[in-house]
Structures are given as C-alpha cells and as structure tokens.
Structure 1
Amino acid sequence: MNQTLPNPLIPKTFIFGVPFSRLGFRDTLQLLVEAVKNRQATHVITANPIMVTAAGNNPAVMAMMKRAELVVPDGAGVVWAAGYIGQPVTEKVAGIELMEELIRIGEQEGWRVFLLGTSEEVIQAAAARIKDKYPKIQIVGVQNGYFSDEQDDEIVEKVREAKPDLLFVGRSADKQDLWIDRYRDQLDATLMMGVGGSFDIFSGNLKRAPKIFIRMRLEWLYRLMQEPSRYKRMLDLPRFVMKVIKEKDNVGKP
C-alpha cells in the first residue's frame, strides 16, 4: 500500500472539533477514485450530528475521526451548522450515493469489493442486488456484521486475503468506524468506508427517502417513519442544534 490520502490538502470546516471536508460530491468522488487508483489507504467517515455528539462525549471517537483521511458531511444538520458559523461546506455528501458511485466506477475499473455488515439475510440480498445492477463488479467477499470481538482476527484475515479496493462496513454507528480504524493497517484494503444502514437500502429492506424529503433536508424524518425505534437517537438532533446556537463562537474551533 502506498502513502495515505494527503489529508492536510483537503479544505475543512471544524464542527466541535470534527474536521469536515468542504468538498462537494463530485470533487469528493474524484478524490476517492484517484486514491483507489493510486493505492492510497483511505478511511472515509460519513458523519452526521449524532456522530459529532458521540465524538464530543468520547475522546476515542474524536481521535478516530481526526485520524481518518476524510470526514464528509452526511447530514443536513452538519451542513446547516457549517453555514450558521460562517464556514460553509459545499453540500451534503450522502454516504449511500458515494458508495453507489464508487461501485459503478469500480465495475468499469475492475475493482475488488468487500461487503461487511448487517444480518446474513440482508448482506446477501444487498450483494445479489448490487450484482444484478452491476453484473461485472467483482464482489470478493461478503460477511455479516454480527460477530464478537473475539472473532475480529478471523474476519480481518478474511478481508486481508480478499485484498479489496473498496471495503464497505455497515455495522452500528458506535462500531463500524472504530473497527476500521483499529484494524486498517491489517486489512490490506484501499478505500474503507462505514456505510451505516446503506445495506438495508441496497437489499430493498428499506427505501431511500423521496427526492422531496432530500431537497427539504428531511431525510432523517423519512428514516424515522420507516424505523420508529430510532426516535431516541433522533433526540440528539434538536440538542445538536441548540448546542450550535448556544456555543456559536466555539463551534468552528479545531
């Protein structure tokens, strides 16, 4: 593996210490495509206000987010906060859209893809539907996300043997990126990205929000309508907004 993506060259906005890329979707995609082509190890975090809050409450999460080569604003609340403090990002960069574009390009480039996360049923369905849509894509590994810490070595070895260009990890928000960060040097993967519930959407288990919800920055509401059990997590959103308003002068500091 060559050097990592040159993180210092990416323009950033800090939200409560989390370094968000200011690049728009197309520039982000181009940056990642070049990183894969150049074999530059890259950890991409698609972060929202809930993850910013988690980083503020847990120094280990904050340190992990600062080590990652790229943190993209995958949340309307982050985009709003950046604009509110006068350090705007270009736009929301949705992780699921990045994932699909990387797979589309990966089919053309002959990249190797490893899918890791969620339940066995969902991950197998996601792999099958991706293969149906992109028949020439090389899916070199499929692994559910329900494994214990004691099984980490076994899973890491499985990924390393597959040597993926793209490793997508869809576990719980408090696990996926910490897991990537802990084992990144052993995985022998080029681009590593936590994708949250994206496998549920690829599998057909959940639907992506209609465009009108996305345009109105209400994608979180549509997700809540499909998964009411998420309501406790969603309470972090108004708390995040109030914290940004209350601490405006300190929000944008590294």
Structure 2
Amino acid sequence: MSQTQREDGIGQVPVTRILGVNVSKLDMAGTVKVLERAVASGKPHQVITANPIMIMAALESEENMRAMREAELIVPDGAGVVWAAEELGDPVAERVAGFDLLHELMKRGEQLGWTAYLLGAAEEVVQEAASRLQKQYPKVRIAGVRNGYFGEAENAEIIGNIRQANPDLLFVARDAKTQEPWIARHKHELGAAVIMGVGGSFDVISGKTKRAPVFMQKMRLEWFYRLAKEPSRLPRMMALPRFMQKIKKVKKSVK
C-alpha cells in the first residue's frame, strides 16, 4: 500500500513498503530534486541505494534494519526491488541506480557549485575515481579523498577530516556489512548534507571494473553480469531466491 513519508529537509516523499522497508517511488529526476533540497537544508540525509541483498540483510540484522528505518531516503537501486514493488501492487516510477544517481548529483553540483568527498575502496581506486570525476565535473570541487580500509580506532580522525572538508555530497564505498551501519552511526557527526553509500561505483568510475551493458541493465540482468564477472559473489546472491519467496508469500497473504 502506498504511503507518504515526511522527511526533515526534503518534504514529502511517496514510498512503497517492501518487507518493512520504505522505498521511494520517485523517478530519477524527482530524486535529484529532493536531494537538492537536502543540500540546501544543510542537515544530514542518509541515502540508501537498496537492492534485495541489502533488504534481506536488514531482516537478519538489527543494526542494518535500524539503518534502513533511520535513513532519510531509500531508492530502488536493484532490479529485484523494482520487481517486488510491482508484485506487491504498488510500483515505483523506475529503477534509480546508485551509480546513475551519483552522476546525476554531480551534474547538478556542476550547476550549483557543490563540493564532494569520496570515502572508500582501495587507495589507488578512490584516487583514480576522484581524478576522473574531477575532470568530468570540473565545477564540483572534490574536497577530500580517503580509502575505505580503516577500523574503529581511526573513525575520529576520518570524521574530523570530513567535517573540516565540509562537503555537500559524501559518497561512501565500503563493504556491504559495514557501509550503511557506519553511515547511520556517524551521519550527524560528518557535516555533509547528502551521504550516500555507493558500493562498487568507485571501481567502475576508476576503470577497474566494467558495468553491465545497457541492454542487460534494461533486461534487469545486471546482477547476472556481475555474478559472471565475480563468481565469488555467489554466496551473497543466494539471498535473491529467499527474497523472491518472501515477496510471493506477502503477495499471497494480501490477496
């Protein structure tokens, strides 16, 4: 059933509820407008780019579910999330892929003079990603760069560096288990208005890996392309059939 979620700084956001997670129904253009208001507000907004694996992780981890519930905006990144919304009779406007949203925000930042900070991935990857983004979007100042290999003991230093840089956009690329919970725990300390987990986006931007061909994205087979390229992802992918089973069960129960 469709709902409207009130979020501080960004106004009304129509959402669809998928296994207890409120997913935005906005299209890409609407999402960018909402996040433009978030930047203008100056208040921290966590953006989660949700896929079925992340939703299943939230069902199995209280910390991950808390991050989902406290996030200011959750967008339907995964094709499976778009499918689930359709199955449950309350579809989203379109898939809002995190990789594409990152670039759309950088485009808007070109027009409005925003700053960005990149946190995560290996040192050579994040440095190359920052270099390429700076060339592609020269009017967005890359205010800082830091790799994602750090522990709790380094949190204070890293948070202090980000606060000093004072970015409008903070893109975080860490492993699936720590990315969203880390942002949720520290978003009020970081000083950025839009804080978005971007997974493997820096790897693609830097040229380390390639994104699925457009025709596979349109066919909702990007997950299959990634699995073919990285067979080690298979254990994680086992969450997909369990996600589908849960959606089918919910659909059957509401008929």
Same fold flag (TM > 0.5): yes
* Corresponding residue of 2:180: 177
Unaligned runs of 5+ in 2: 1-6
Which of 217, 236, 244 lines up with 1:214 in the alignment?
217
Q: Is the 8 A contact 1:165 1:191 kept in 2?
A: yes
Distance verdict in 2 for CA 1:250–1:201, change over 3 Å: farther
Q: Is the 8 A contact 1:110 1:137 kept in 2?
A: yes
- 1:1-50 Cα offsets, whole Å, 9 max, x none, are xx93346x211111110110111111111111122123242110001000
Which of 200, 203, 210 lines up with 1:200 in the alignment?
203
Mapped partners of 1:243, 1:205: distance in 2? 35
- 1:46-86 Cα offsets, whole Å, 9 max, x none, are 01000110111112211211111100111111111111111
**Which SS does the other structure have where 2:94 is aligned?**
coil
Mapped partners of 2:18, 2:62: distance in 1? 15
Mapped partners of 1:183, 1:4: distance in 2? 18
Give the alignment of 1:1-254 within 5 angstroms.
4-6=8-10, 9-249=12-252
Mapped partners of 1:72, 1:5: distance in 2? 17
Unaligned runs of 5+ in 1: none
Q: Is the 8 A contact 1:113 1:167 kept in 2?
A: yes
Counterpart of 1:117, as a letter, is G
Mapped partners of 1:160, 1:185: distance in 2? 10
Counterpart of 1:4, as a letter, is D
Q: Is the 8 A contact 1:21 1:73 kept in 2?
A: yes
Q: Is the 8 A contact 2:98 2:198 kept in 1?
A: yes
TM-superposed deviation, 1:247: 3.2
TM-superposed deviation, 1:220: 0.7
Aligned Cα RMSD in Å?
A: 1.5
**Which SS does the other structure have where 1:11 is aligned?**
strand
Q: Is the 8 A contact 1:131 1:137 kept in 2?
A: yes
Mapped partners of 1:156, 1:48: distance in 2? 27
TM-superposed deviation, 1:137: 2.1
Which 4+ runs in 1 deviate beyond 6 A? none
**Which SS does the other structure have where 1:13 is aligned?**
strand
TM-superposed deviation, 1:249: 4.9
TM-superposed deviation, 1:159: 0.5
TM-superposed deviation, 1:205: 0.7
Aligned length: 248
Counterpart of 1:86, as a letter, is G
Select the structure with the greater relative contact order (CA < 8 A; seq sep ≥ 6).
1
* Corresponding residue of 2:4: none
Structure 1 residues 104-113 or 145-154, which shifts more? 104-113
Q: Percent identity?
A: 51
Mapped partners of 1:6, 1:132: distance in 2? 30
**Which SS does the other structure have where 2:17 is aligned?**
strand
Mapped partners of 2:86, 2:9: distance in 1? 26
**Which SS does the other structure have where 1:169 is aligned?**
strand
TM-score by length of 2: 0.93
Mapped partners of 1:61, 1:15: distance in 2? 15
